[in-house]
């Protein structure tokens, strides 16, 4: 019964926040962020243990895999454009991956982060199922990595539209690759608002980031 209540409560809350976001389209009100914040507040104020919530929440979490697989459909629809721009896409994702690794390393050194924190930060822009094994392999803390991955996704989903507007980025391929490379699944979910083509490019870049990151991140960790 508790598991069922947690599932229903999460779905209802997400649905309500979706309605609110459609009425007031402020970046901080995106459903995945506002729902998360409200869920945390509800659990804390009512002294509900995390394990109790996850008795039902884990079943929602299990839908992550099918949700990612479903992104293959728009990839199939726009396969000709993906093939046409394959070289710029691969190079852009690789540049995004390397620039992320370098910037994280420089900032971590400047802020005197401990080594395990730096190593946990390196895979932050790679989707969680891939980032956690990478973190374990390079000597990071998987729990910290999971937090950093979620944070990177939320930041991309919130700030992405602002950057698009300020920098006047209106091309589907540019929007998709930038968000998909930096903010993985959470960021890509935001791209649904920009059309199927933008979503497709985001899915491609997210997938390539995971594949390339599996090789580049461990090698980079050995060099720093």
**What are the pLDDT digits (tens) for 109-118?**
999 889 989 9
**Can you give the pLDDT at residue 105?**
92
Range 5-26 average pLDDT: 86
Residue 17 C-alpha from the chain's centroid = 19
**Residue 116: partners with Cβ closer than 8 Å, 6 or more residues away:** 139, 140, 141, 144
pLDDT tens-digit series, residues 121-152: 999 888 887 888 899 888 888 888 888 888 88
**Can you give the pLDDT at residue 91?**
93
Range 178-196 average pLDDT: 86
DSSP 8-state code for residue 195: -
**Can you give the pLDDT at residue 110?**
92
**Residue 99: partners with Cβ closer than 8 Å, 6 or more residues away:** none
**Can you give the pLDDT at residue 29?**
83
Q: Tell if the pTM clears 0.85, that is, is over it.
A: no
Under a CB-based contact definition with an 8 Å cutoff, are residues 125 and 184 in contact? yes
**Can you give the pLDDT at residue 16?**
92
Joined tokens for residue 77: 């629809």
Interior CA angle at 174 toward 173 and 177, to 5°?
Answer: 80
Residue 1, CA atoms < 13 Å, CB-side half-sphere: 0
Range 175-183 average pLDDT: 90
């Amino acid at each position: 019964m508790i598991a069922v209540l947690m599932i229903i409560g999460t779905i209802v809350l997400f649905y309500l926040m979706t309605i609110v976001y459609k009425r007031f389209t402020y970046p901080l009100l995106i459903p995945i962020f506002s729902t998360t914040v409200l869920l945390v507040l509800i659990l804390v104020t009512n002294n509900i243990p995390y394990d109790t919530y996850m008795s039902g929440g884990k079943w929602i979490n299990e839908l992550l895999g099918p949700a990612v697989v479903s992104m293959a459909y728009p990839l199939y629809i726009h396969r000709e454009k993906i093939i046409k721009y394959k070289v710029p896409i691969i190079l852009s994702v690789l540049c995004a991956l390397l620039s992320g690794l370098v910037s994280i390393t420089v900032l971590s050194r400047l802020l005197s982060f401990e080594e395990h924190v730096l190593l946990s930060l390196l895979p932050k822009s790679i989707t969680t199922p891939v980032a956690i094994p990478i973190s374990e392999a390079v000597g990071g803390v998987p729990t910290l990595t999971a937090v950093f991955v979620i944070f990177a996704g939320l930041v991309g989903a919130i700030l992405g539209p602002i950057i698009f507007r300020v920098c006047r980025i209106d091309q589907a391929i540019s929007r998709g690759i930038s968000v998909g490379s930096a903010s993985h699944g959470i960021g890509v979910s935001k791209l649904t608002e920009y059309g199927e083509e933008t979503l497709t490019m985001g899915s491609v870049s997210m997938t390539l980031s995971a594949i390339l990151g599996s090789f580049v991140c461990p090698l980079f960790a050995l060099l720093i």
